[in-house]
Amino acid sequence: MTLEIGMLGYRFMGKAHANALARLPMFFPDAPDVERGVLIGRDEDALRDAADRLGFSSIATSWEEAIDEVDVFYNLGPNHVHAEPSIAALDAGTPVFCEKPLAPTLEEADVMAETAREADVPAGCAFNYRFVPAIRYAKRLLEAGELGEIRHVRGRYLQDWLVDPEAPWSWRNDEELAGSGALGDLGSHTVDLLRFLVGADDIAGEISRISGHLRTFVEERPVEGDGAGTDETRPVTVDDAYSAQLEFENGAMGTLEASRFATGHKNDHTIEIHGSKGSLRFSLERLNELEVLREDNRGYKTILVTDEDDPYVDHWWPPGHVIGWEHTFVHENYEFLTAVAENGEFEPNFEDGLAAQQVLEAIEESDDAGEWVSLD
Ligand code: SOE
């Protein structure tokens, strides 16, 4: 049976997922057969061009009509478009793969997760960094207790694409459209990754309380594109950067931060975990490596996670033939579509998306109140 996919969104994430779908048959031959069916968007000309480039057989300018015609619905639109189409698809019993963060607000994420529970079909949230081989390797070490009692968990996601105050305004700068700035766009990845790595009861458990701080450095930005006057600007109504302190159920301490103003850092998502018997360090800018320190305490060892028995690597190339950011999308699409074909379980799902949204909300609540917020 071939799964026909309807995909809403055809820019950055549309290209990442369409590329992943195109590579599945060659590198994951046991993946379900999928057809890139209908590409959904508003601008018909741009849509037609994108459908040709991304290999979709048809286009639709209305998601309402399209979601009844497809076997799987991918919601890759801006954050403010995540809720309504995903809920409608799930209500029609159609599996949904939605980009992160799940929604701009906790209220919308709540309804999406509730709808997914009732629909009883796979509803995935595309936190792609769970599908980095080095992250899977780290998870195996943590589950095996190799690091001992977890004391410190640190997550940082640094970019610098908004350092220039003349960088144009976009939906990512608007609270109505995005929900939050670096917090939701980048922080949601880090929160999900920490939950994935240490969230189990026998490792560090869930996050129990939070102290948060948000900051907007540039309050307005120039508007670019059709109809924009030469000096038209729009307000920035979300954070440019955030930081947070966490306490985990087992007492471990956590620190989180993300910024779009970290000059010199392009897409630097780093995780550091320190335990009583060892530590590990991961950086997205060195995606194929994991630094591990064992009990001998004589410095970190860099492990190149590209051996055949390392997660997902056997689908690609011989040891040392490194993979990249795009391959994480191939891995997550393989797992999600396999779950759809078998009506199995997929994680991260809408429950994980909701759990991340609860942490984001608590960080904003703490920043507003100027005090710690409990998540219990
Ligand atoms: C932000 O620039 C962004 O594109 C995020 O939206 C993605 O989720 C992240 O993977 C890369 O950076």
Q: pLDDT by residue (tens digit) across 154-204? A: 999 999 999 999 999 999 999 999 999 999 999 999 999 999 999 999 999
- For residue 100, the ligand 1 atom closest to its alpha carbon is 8
Cis ω before 104 (30° cut-off from 0): no
- pTM of the model as a whole: 0.97
Ligand 1 cavity residues, CB under 6 Å: 159, 185, 267
Q: CA-to-CA distance for 227 and 224, rounded, in angstroms?
A: 8
Token pair 């799930």 is at which residue?
90
Cα distance between residue 107 and residue 131, in whole Å: 28
Query: How far does the centroid of ligand 1 lie from the alpha carbon of residue 118, in Å?
Result: 30
185 alpha carbon to ligand 1 midpoint, in Å?
A: 6
Residue nearest to ligand 1 atom 6, measured at CA: 185
Q: Whose CA is nearest to atom 5 of ligand 1?
A: 185
- Ligand 1 center to 107 CA (angstroms): 23
CA of 41 to the centre of ligand 1 (A): 20
Q: State yes or no: pLDDT of 227 exceeds 70.
A: no
What is the SS3 assignment for 82-126? CHHHHHHHHHCCCCEEECCCCCCCHHHHHHHHHHHHHHCCCEEEC
Domain segments of the chain: what residues?
A: 2-128, 130-322+349-369
Kindly report, residue by residue over 82-101, the tens digit of the pLDDT: 999 999 999 999 999 999 99
CATH topology of domain 130-322+349-369: Dihydrodipicolinate Reductase; domain 2 (3.30.360)
| End-to-end Cα separation, the chain, in angstroms | 44
- Whether 226 has a pLDDT exceeding 90, the answer reads no
Choose the residue to mutate in 76, 160, 180, 267 for probing ligand 1, maximizing ligand atoms within 8 Å of C-beta: 267
Q: Looking at domain 2-128, which CATH architecture does it have?
A: 3-Layer(aba) Sandwich (3.40)
Band (349; pLDDT cuts 50, 70, 90): very high
